[in-house]
Amino acid sequence: MPPPSIPPNIKVLLVDDHSLVRRGFRRMLEDDPEIAVVGEASDGNEAVEKALELRPDVVVMDFALPSMNGAVATRMILKTAPHTKILMLSMHSEPSYVRTCLDAGARGYLLKNAVDLELIGAVKQVASGELVLDPRLGRLADEPAKPTLTTRELEILQLIVHGKSNKEIAAVLGLSANTVSVHRANIMQALDIHNTAALVVYAIQHGLASIA
């Protein structure tokens, strides 16, 4: 019998844009009888859709995803499925990336390039409500906190990084161009950045958006 704090069948959704990586993780996780992989997704939008459809206990999510990064996808999933636990996998060890994911609501952050990735144990810990951080990440407390953006602002920032104009962003998100313009101004004010080129660089460097 598994410990009471861990569900007897932990339903997991795998999110990664590489099918071989998903296949490897699936085999690793399904070796444990307490874990069931209920679905897979290859980008941020699909991750949100599958999470709402399948209602997994844990989403194992790559940070660098097409369409939107893992942090934005995490915010969107937790907005409608707040009890879902997100375990983020990333190649980035910089504290700014970790903070972005934790601020979004992720309950775990592991370095993806680890040869001895303890994925099964991390999934069980996250499912039982624990916070899991890769021990090689160092001290986050020494890193100054950065301004936080809303889920909508992060969505718009991602589209700005993809080179979309206010009008194009408005069409994608179903907003007016004026509303997008207000959001863009609020983003720049919050981050104290005053031109688009600098905003794009900042967003990528601090893990707020991906270029994929």
Residue of higher predicted confidence among 206 and 29? 29
**What pLDDT shows up at residue 207?**
76
Give yes or no for a contact between 157 and 187, defined as CB atoms under 8 angstroms apart: yes
Give yes or no for a contact between 167 and 177, defined as CB atoms under 8 angstroms apart: yes
Shared domain check, 23 and 120:
yes
**What pLDDT shows up at residue 142?**
47
Write down which residue in 137, 166, 189 finishes a domain: 137
> What percent of the chain is modeled with pLDDT above 90?
52
pTM of the model: 0.72
Shared domain check, 163 and 131:
no
Domain assignment present for 211: no
What would the pLDDT profile of 88-111 be if each residue is shown by its tens digit? 998 888 887 888 888 889 999 998
For the chain, strand residue ranges (E) read 10-15, 35-41, 58-62, 85-90, 108-111, 132-133
User: Which residues, in sequence order, are bridge partners of residue 41?
Assistant: 15
Which phi and psi (to 5°) does residue 39 adopt? 180, 170
pLDDT band, very low/low/confident/very high, at 136 (cuts 50, 70, 90): confident
Residue 141 has pLDDT above 50, yes or no: no
Distance CA 197, CA 161 (A): 9
Shared domain check, 121 and 51:
yes
Measured between its terminal Cα atoms, the distance across the chain in Å is 43
Domain extent, residue 185, equals 151-205
What is the identity of the amino acid at 119?
A: L
Q: Please state whether beta strands 85-90 and 10-15 pair in parallel, antiparallel, or not at all (unpaired).
A: unpaired
Shared domain check, 155 and 53:
no
Residue 7 has pLDDT above 70, yes or no: no
What would the pLDDT profile of 145-178 be if each residue is shown by its tens digit? 566 788 788 889 989 998 999 999 999 999 999 9
> What percent of the chain is modeled with pLDDT above 70?
89
